Structure 1
Amino acid sequence: MRRSLCTSISIAMIAAIGATFVTAGNAADSGNVVVASYGGSFQDAQTKAFFEPYAGATGARVTGTTGTGYAKVKAMVTSGNITWDVISADAAAYESEVKDDLLQPIDYSIVKADGIPAELRTKYGVGYMKFAQNLAWNKDKFPNGLTPAQFFDPSVKARRVMLALPYYNLEFALLADGVKPADLYPLDVDRGLKVIDRIKDQIVGFKPPSDVQALIQQGEVDVAFGPGGRLNNAIKAGANWAYTYDGSVTVVEYWAVLKGAPNAAEAMKFINFAIQPEQQAELPKQIFYGPTNIDALKLLDPALAKDLPGNPENEKLGGVLNSKWWNDNLASVSTRWSTYIMQ
């Protein structure tokens, strides 16, 4: 599974550019487009769901590269040495890129996004995928399941693991403590830390996503709050675990085009192709992420669709990360968080 927001929201971190993947259609090239993403299993899934089908349908040459992120995008646009056209950007990186005028407007005369919710059809990007952080538990220890309130109940004895950085964790704690999703922001950081403090002595650690999955598979924790994709992978690998969308936190991923992109016209055509229901429905078949186009859910096996992040029935059980709030408050909250988890 690809990186979590824990790496991309730290906008000062510059990701190195990795290997380049090229997919060419059978027909003569009618255009070129370079798409920057994150590599790994996520980019493998994007290649199968978007890159290869677009190349096959249009004859265009689609080059997938890695390293997308706010810092790299800013460096590229500022220097004028722009080698990417389309980027896949999580909500936090996207907000920073918009704020710094690094993107060009989406051409909605080409990009037909009627099936995408209005709030995700923005001036500079189209939300095309959702992922979530979920509560999960060992079914042998908790055969009747677990609620978010029980996760933070010190009388419920269990080895717990949470994520390494403050976002998601604070939202989860506040939701568990009775805050309604619509009232999450501005986050009450003091209250969130007090909720976590109730069970802090039972927390094995505050870990990155890969470690959350490893601890589950190694039998070293009983309950976890972590990425749904990692939880799903652990279960597929044999962990007798279950998870819920109650108290979950959902995040949106955007397609966007760099300001000054050398193949902007082809970039708009690619985005239009990639947000249609048929293509969005291909991504969840490859990796555990949900579509934003509601019509895409109708094309999926109901058993798969009902369990995906972004399914309205799941999303209403939790909150949606407010990346604008975090962009404004990340530095100050991270300082407090770092001090808190080290105490």
Structure 2
Amino acid sequence: MTSNKLHKGLLAALITAASITFSAQFAANAYAADVVVASYGGAFQDAQTKAYFEPYTKATGTKVTGTTGTGYAKVKAMVESGNITWDVVSAESSAFANETKDGLLQPINYSVVKADGIPAEFRKEYGVGYISFGQVLAWSKDKFPNGITPAQFFDPKVKGRRVLTSDPYFTIENALLADGVKAANLYPLDVDRALKVIDRIKDQLIGFKGGSDTQALIQQGEVDMAFGPNGRINDAIKAGANWAYSWEDSVSDIEWWVVTKGAPHAEEAMKFINFAVQPEQQAELTRQIPYGPTNVDALKLLDPAVAKSLPSYPENAALGVVLNSQWWHDNLQTVKPRWDSFIIQ
């Protein structure tokens, strides 16, 4: 009897130990793999989390860690130092062009990334274009019940608290278009003229802000008019801001998925991008934040009313221009120091 009890006690102890060991191993290996995705934070990254990050983890068991601060300078610093912590990066076209030029990216593996529904011009060796977005003019309907025009935004006689974006691209185009430059004559950009246009209303500027900060200023009632990303503006309106916006003289661009050269989880990065460029996921991102999908099959999955709010909708596109990323690729290093000096004066 005593021997039997001892045997049972030992067996129970072994089972408990095995259970503890298994639980510890399970906790340590709760995810099959990991991938780090760098983006912009705010409403846009919230939308990415709902459309891409969480569904991908659920579908594959891979942990997606979203981080912020994406930009050419940070990618360059990582690759040059060898301290690479980002796998996938969401890159604006000018950043993408410079990252490609400087050899900071690794080629997209199109045997893994199935992007047939995306037009060929958005399937590059080092990146896949996944959304179209526009920078638009927006205004408070309480302050301007009849709306404003781009020319009025840069007219110092039209009083109001303004905000412009912190990067030179888009904003220089907006200023020149508002000053009467025709779309066909926009490039090469007349930077001197653009800075003079912006300088007219500089004393009425709250500042030069990123998309997330612009949205916050709108929702907090701290500005009266803004140039900013259409998705951020739309989210501010959905959150209760009594604002409107126009596609007149808008500037649209493409956002790219890229993989950092030397990424620690490069194989998983390609799998994530493949998931993110499929029609269902692109359509879901648009439902979360109104940027246009590049996958033509995604457009078929959207409510027609939603489609009319996108920069790629034909009537909207006809009112604006497409950012010339090649010009910025060739000139950013010259323009950026002048711009940085100008906005802090």
Fold conserved between structures, TM > 0.5: yes
Letter in 2 for 1:62: K
**Where does residue 32 of structure 1 map in the other structure?**
33
Deviations 1:238-287 (A, max 9, x none): 32210011111223221112334444343323222211111100112223
The equivalent position to 1:233 in structure 2, one of 205, 222, 235, is: 235
CA distance in 2, matches of 1:108, 1:265: 12
**Where does residue 10 of structure 1 map in the other structure?**
none
Instruction: Work out whether residues 290 and 309 of structure 2, in 8 Å CA contact, stay in contact via their aligned partners in 1.
Output: no
**Where does residue 122 of structure 2 map in the other structure?**
120
Secondary structure of residue in 1 paired with 2:114: coil
CA distance in 2, matches of 1:45, 1:224: 22
CA distance in 1, matches of 2:340, 2:96: 25
**Where does residue 144 of structure 1 map in the other structure?**
146
The equivalent position to 1:166 in structure 2, one of 165, 168, 186, is: 168
C-alpha change, 1:218 and 1:106, in structure 2 (3 Å) is: closer
What does 1:196-211 correspond to in 2, within 5 Å? Answer: 196-200=198-202, 203-209=204-210, 210-211=212-213
**Where does residue 309 of structure 1 map in the other structure?**
311
**Where does residue 129 of structure 1 map in the other structure?**
131
Between 224-233 and 275-284, report the one with greater CA deviation.
Answer: 224-233
CA distance in 2, matches of 1:118, 1:50: 23
The equivalent position to 1:248 in structure 2, one of 223, 247, 250, is: 250
Larger radius of gyration: 2
C-alpha change, 1:259 and 1:215, in structure 2 (3 Å) is: closer
C-alpha change, 1:236 and 1:324, in structure 2 (3 Å) is: same
CA distance in 2, matches of 1:276, 1:183: 36
CA distance in 2, matches of 1:83, 1:158: 42
CA RMSD of aligned residues (A): 3.1
**Where does residue 294 of structure 2 map in the other structure?**
292
User: Which structure 1 segments of 5+ residues have no match?
Assistant: 1-23
TM-score by length of 2: 0.78
**Where does residue 179 of structure 1 map in the other structure?**
181
Q: Percent identity?
A: 68
Instruction: Work out whether residues 208 and 343 of structure 2, in 8 Å CA contact, stay in contact via their aligned partners in 1.
Output: no
CA distance in 1, matches of 2:240, 2:89: 34
Instruction: Work out whether residues 251 and 322 of structure 2, in 8 Å CA contact, stay in contact via their aligned partners in 1.
Output: yes
Secondary structure of residue in 2 paired with 1:243: strand
CA distance in 2, matches of 1:269, 1:296: 19
Deviations 1:278-326 (A, max 9, x none): 1100112223433222321221122222112343432332223334433
Between 86-95 and 148-157, report the one with greater CA deviation.
Answer: 148-157
Letter in 2 for 1:326: W
Instruction: Work out whether residues 35 and 88 of structure 1, in 8 Å CA contact, stay in contact via their aligned partners in 2.
Output: no
**Where does residue 50 of structure 1 map in the other structure?**
52
Once the 2 structures are TM-superposed, how far is the Cα of residue 337 of structure 1 from its aligned partner?
3.7
Instruction: Work out whether residues 34 and 265 of structure 2, in 8 Å CA contact, stay in contact via their aligned partners in 1.
Output: yes
Once the 2 structures are TM-superposed, how far is the Cα of residue 193 of structure 1 from its aligned partner?
2.7
Instruction: Work out whether residues 177 and 195 of structure 1, in 8 Å CA contact, stay in contact via their aligned partners in 2.
Output: yes
Instruction: Work out whether residues 112 and 274 of structure 2, in 8 Å CA contact, stay in contact via their aligned partners in 1.
Output: yes
CA distance in 2, matches of 1:198, 1:75: 36
C-alpha change, 1:328 and 1:280, in structure 2 (3 Å) is: same
Letter in 1 for 2:138: A
Instruction: Work out whether residues 131 and 289 of structure 1, in 8 Å CA contact, stay in contact via their aligned partners in 2.
Output: yes
User: Which structure 2 segments of 5+ residues have no match?
Assistant: 1-25
Instruction: Work out whether residues 290 and 309 of structure 1, in 8 Å CA contact, stay in contact via their aligned partners in 2.
Output: yes
CA distance in 1, matches of 2:281, 2:225: 35
Secondary structure of residue in 1 paired with 2:137: strand
Deviations 1:66-100 (A, max 9, x none): 15433443344345554543222222322222112
Secondary structure of residue in 2 paired with 1:104: coil
Secondary structure of residue in 2 paired with 1:281: helix
CA distance in 2, matches of 1:224, 1:260: 39
TM-score by length of 1: 0.78
Letter in 1 for 2:107: P
Higher fraction of helix: 2
CA distance in 2, matches of 1:259, 1:199: 42
C-alpha change, 1:139 and 1:113, in structure 2 (3 Å) is: same
Instruction: Work out whether residues 116 and 292 of structure 1, in 8 Å CA contact, stay in contact via their aligned partners in 2.
Output: yes
Between 74-83 and 279-288, report the one with greater CA deviation.
Answer: 74-83
The equivalent position to 1:193 in structure 2, one of 171, 192, 195, is: 195
Q: How many residues align?
A: 315
Once the 2 structures are TM-superposed, how far is the Cα of residue 330 of structure 1 from its aligned partner?
3.4
C-alpha change, 1:84 and 1:310, in structure 2 (3 Å) is: same
C-alpha change, 1:164 and 1:46, in structure 2 (3 Å) is: closer
